[in-house]
Structure 1
Amino acid sequence: MLSLILALAGAQWMVRQKGTDLLFLVDVSESITSSERSQSMELVRRAARQLGRNDRAGLIAFAGEAFVDQPLGSDLSHLRQIESRPTRSETDLQAALQVALAHADPQRNLRLMIISDGVNTRGDVESLLPSLKSRGIPVDALLVGSLPESEVSVESVTAPAYVQENQPFTLRVVIAATQPATGRLWLVRNDDVLAERQVELKEGRNAFDFTDLKEPSGLTRFEVRLETEQDTLIQNNIGYATVSVAGPSKVLVITANRDASAALINALQQNSIPIEVTSPAMTPASAEMLSAYAAVVIHDVPALGFSPTQLEQIAAYVRELGGGLVTIGGYNSYGLGGYYKTPLESVFPVAIDVSQTVVMPSLAMVLVLDKSGSMASVQGRRDKITLAKEAALGVLDVMLDHDLFGVIAFDSDPYWIVPLQTPTDRLGMAEQIGTIGAGGGTDLGPAMLKAYEALQAADAAVKHVIILSDGQSMDYDFPYVTSLLRSTGATVSSVAIGEDADRELLALIARLGNGRFYYTEDADTIPQIFTTEAFVVSRPLAVEEPVQPQVHQPAPFLTGIDMENLPVLSGYVLTSPKATSAIHLETEDADPILASWRHGLGRVVSFTSGATTAWASDWLAWSDFGAFWSQTARWAMRPEQPTNLRTHFTIFEGQGSLVVDAIDDQGRFLNFLQLQAEILSPAGENRRLALTQTAPGQYQAQFPASEQGIWLATISDPNHPEFDRPFIIGTVLPYSNEYRLIGRDSAALERLVLTTGGKLFLKADEPSDQELRSLLRHPHPVRHPLNLWPILLLLALLLFLIDIMVRYLPSSMLRKLEIALWGTSSVMTTDVAAQQPSEEVSAEEPVPVTIDYIVEPVPRLEDLIQQRRQADLSAEPLLDPARYLARLRRTRRQSGSEDDEDRQGS
């Protein structure tokens, strides 16, 4: 019974754990040299050889991240190198400690050995100290690392955060060197080299000033580059600074033909809007560089004039940085300009695909693709044949259900990949296109003839052929076969890829085929070219007829202009309104002429007609032409930073901090603002933050930041009339602290070791073998409870079975069982004869008899029942019969009198 009670109570026994788990946390970041990593591995191997029978060892490699390189229980005595590859430009000791705690067995003794220079660039080690101390985990550390013998680094680049336009300022560069050196120093402004000088460096810090710098309004980025032969690390030879220049905001006008845009340029300049004119190719390729402008105007520029990166960055400039965008139409704009499925398509307030609102004519499209061996060559990240297949899929996506679509691939012979048919089975067509592989020669003529045969029998209002090739074709009568295609009503366009393509032949085919010729050395543009060509051919997007613009919704930016007597336009690009856009001017058929909306943080205005004599000759002579375009541009422009908001934007140890102090014109705090910030990283990633008020008039936000380069923040309060338009500020992170001239930092490791009761070793040959063995004797051995209930429960069950056996087994069987177990019996039978010596036993040989207890025979059930009856009879004596009858009569008489009383009462 006691065993059962203890088992149910959950009895436990505290057991002391034998053996120690030793986890090595090895720093493999850039600040650890190869020789120091070799010393670390030697220590790991020496320690592994000191392990006892119950000890285990494991290894965690860490830098920017932490990975379990060798789990606990691995044999580290012959480990040569670490296989894990964390990001080496950072060091996060907190991550390594967290991985170690997660990997450890809580029922075993754990000890950590850190091998590092102590330079921690991210994470918070202090936050783990209470956990390590409470769990009794000692942390030891071997401090490695040293300054390179010859190292030069740009330590800082400082410039004023804010200056007025054309106000002179100084930019200071501080360079640190471990020994005297010479080098060259460049100052770069927005990717243009501003200054270059030869520098002589002494040991220690060296300061160099660039004075009398003057900048126009906007955000200017400065970059400092250092080059020297007496150097070890090149990652720390760069520095950045940003300067916000207050003054009239600038507008960037992008045009492919400056003469055609002269009227627009003059209109903006004459209305006091500072502008800068550039071509599509020279447009800044980063949102950060575009942020120097308050707005961008794109005048009749085709999408192919920009690189894919430029289009993406213009969209990001509007969406994340609050820049303004004004787009003006022409033959190279919107759908005509190939903006379908480009990053800017989503920015426009008008939709350029009008297939859902306009009846489209039927189209028969045949693609003729070169699949010769040269198409297997790689340009950029992919081979040309893969890009050609992607282009074919893009054209298939443009096709409407009633169109006809076919694909011919050719090498020395032509092959129908997709016979000319309606695109009902688009998935099957895509699978067939995916089977195209490169190989063979180049013979274009027979492929064009096969396209002619198919188009001759095709019933379509519009027929078009697109030819793609990157090589020299075999001789053929190309003017003749092109004329055959033209006889079917088809037009022919061609695309030449790379310098080896027969550009003259393909240009001739396009000219004779009344199509367009494209030449590109960037194979990545092939899909966009094909999509643009298919989109333009399949949709009648240019409307060239006199149009009288009508006011649909008043424009807030066109006050003071007579909108009821607008001049007539001669043409426009067909578009349709988007759901949330504002349509200010439209045609009689409700086609948009002027539309606007807010996209992300920026404002966008789209004018679907032109600003040249082709479509807007009457507008150029209009007296309000200048006011119309200057007021439109001003409405779209991002405002300057409010003077009553003071910002402080910094990045330190992997953490960005944004602090805004808000005061009104009388110097009083502005409280309860709902400030928001859009953070743009150097890689173009966007993060939206809400600033929290932490003090009167002060708002703060923090975010992780470890990428090298310029970080931008746009701040606004959409619910406040003064701050509803965002303003922009910037800060820089030149390179990780991993590359600074620190050498080693023992302070953090010392605190970690002292708090947890570990040991700090300062030399590479420490600790010794004896010290390593002493580390394996854990100062606070783990004691874990051993549950006793299984043993106690088993014991209770065993005793219960024995008790039953003793009580109910016959004595003869018990005697036999005892004799079998012990060779003798302790049972004394009740048979007296059995106690007499046998006649066959000699009287001289005494028979030993041991009497421990006497087992009485088990009573029968019938005997127990009889005994119970006798006990009941004897418990109370029987009544005398005469007395019994007298008592019965009295009871009846009493019952009868009660009945009479009841009747009388009723």
Structure 2
Amino acid sequence: MLRLLRVGVLILLFLAFLDPRWPMPGRVVYLLDFSPSARESVFASADRLPRDGIYVAFAERAVRIPSPTARRLDLGEGTDLKAAFQEAEALKPTRVVLVSDGLFEPIPAPFPLDAVYVPPKPHVAVELVPPPYPLYGETVGVGVVLEAPLPTEARLRVEGPGGVLERSLRVEGRKSLTYTFSLTEEAEVRAVAEGPWGRSEARVRFAPVDRPKALVLGDPALARYLEAQGFRVEEGPFRLPLEADLVAVGLGVLDLPEGAPEALRGYLRRGGGLLFTATPKGLFFGGWDRSLPEDLPLKPLGRKGAALVLVLDVSGSMEGEKLSLAVAGALELVRSAAPEDYLGVVLFSSSQRVLFPPRPMTEQGKREAESLLLSVRAGGGTVLGPAFREAVRLLQGVPVERKGILVLSDGLISDPQDPILALAGASGLEVSAVALGPDADRAFLKALAERGGGRYYQAATAGELPRLFLKEGQEVFQGEGLEGRFPVKARPHPLAQGFSPPPLSVLLPARAEPWAEVVLESEGRAVLALGERGEGRVAALATDLSRSWRGWEGAAPFLGGLARYLMGSQKALALYTYPEKNQVRAVVLGRLENPLFLSGGREVPLVPTGPARYEVVAGEPGVLLDGKRRIPLTLPLPGEWTPRDGKLVLKALAEASQGRLLALEDLGRPGSSPLPLRPYLLALALVLFLLERLLEARSFARKA
């Protein structure tokens, strides 16, 4: 008996190891895909589905239906697989069968899942993607995205402010087009796709999100052109901080407040847009090529050069602040000179001394001149005659046509004045003079400038000297303009595409800097050049808009496009999107402060991935938040008709849950729920083992 019990225990343990199962009737739930792409095929297969199951229909929502032939068209136009799984799980199934076309992003099933593939409906879906940040007057593009799960023929018609766009095309997967027009008011775009499969359409409405602000200084013609392009134009004054999307400068350096060049340089380097125009006071006439030599994309071409000798009073009365500011003014002269210009300095007190003779203001020449000027010291009387005669002598051998002398003094001249005045009139040179302070010999200095055909300046304080010296440098080292008829040729550049500018009436001969890009030229001379400096963009136009392009209809659109390009690094944004599975990676280019992406009630920070470049991965449309700006981002996310290999999607989904991809005929087999026998076998083996131990114990007791 004991041996039989031991054998029985071993047999039961062996069977438990094999894990046998007993077939029993199961609870089968069928998930029927009623989304637009699949429902026609599911409806056609309804008669072939078993009648003994539990049926759940789903699209964007999931509901239980009484039979496979029931119809529900109110479940939405998308596919929410998660909602279907939740509904099925609540029914506590022993088996789940998914009948679908597989046009969705799969998610793991919480139960063993079998799948049946049905082909999707031939269809072309159309979606319109508006521009992310449309500006007033900007040429905007609306993305037209077509999707088809099967290769399909379609006729497309797009209507909007840009007219009618019609195409006949074959859509295989995803196809994108761009519909462009100039945005001057709220706009609506409508797209319709038709074919044997039916009809789909989409609409989108949007309006300019902002009117860019332009500060225009000294160029009324440009101001009118920009106003016609929808810009909010403010025509001065120059105030700090510069709160504008674009600053256009048609005035000279000395027409603006002190510190303006430094402020404009900082504005540009921080991402602002700058435009210089060649009004009678602007560009080279205004001295910008000398004040912003590293940031101006144009430089004068063929300039002959000029020569200037500064005759500087270094008598004892100049000691201290006067001399320091006089030297600062002389340094401004050095910096404002071009390589073809000559500059010299003669000092006078009780005697005269040549600090340095007129020399070309090359980089090396400027460094040497600056070093010598910083070594000047004051002391002695005020004897001008010998120093003035030495200045005249030094200029005689300088190989330029225009030559001048600038005399500065703060006291009474102690030597005879008539010989100095006579020499000024007979020398053939431009002689200018600066009277510094109340003790200067104003009458003599004014007479000296009149006799020499130059300019007289009166400085109440030494602080005025640097700008007075700079003004005199502009007068002597000035550029030249040409008048006539100058044909214009456009270089290959997006800004010039579609434009044919007429000839110019005024042209400043110019060349482009190596770092700049030429957009317009005239017979080898640069007319418009632009480039990037720091984080901003700068351009220079070598013509006067009040005289050129007056009758050209394309002037306003061309200049508006140029202005928007220049301000682009500060104001406008560029958006690129890249599909990644069921999401989209959005790349935003532009200067942002603290950008956030608001979607589905959550704020997600954009990740900086480079200079002025930010990225975010989005699963649905949302709003880009940046300071006070709110920019709607409509993303081309995968939709109901997104092309996929649905059969492979279903196969992978089923196999990942220990299920199979089935055919419709396989569904007629009754479902079952195998009962695991291992627990029962182990329990019975334990009972036999305890019984065997009990009998063995009694046997030992009787023997004892």
TM-score bracket, normalised by the shorter chain, equals 0.3 to 0.5
TM-score computed with the length of structure 2 as normaliser: 0.48
* Greater C-alpha Rg: 1
Q: Which has the higher contact order (CA 8 A, sep 6+)?
A: 2
More strand by share: 2
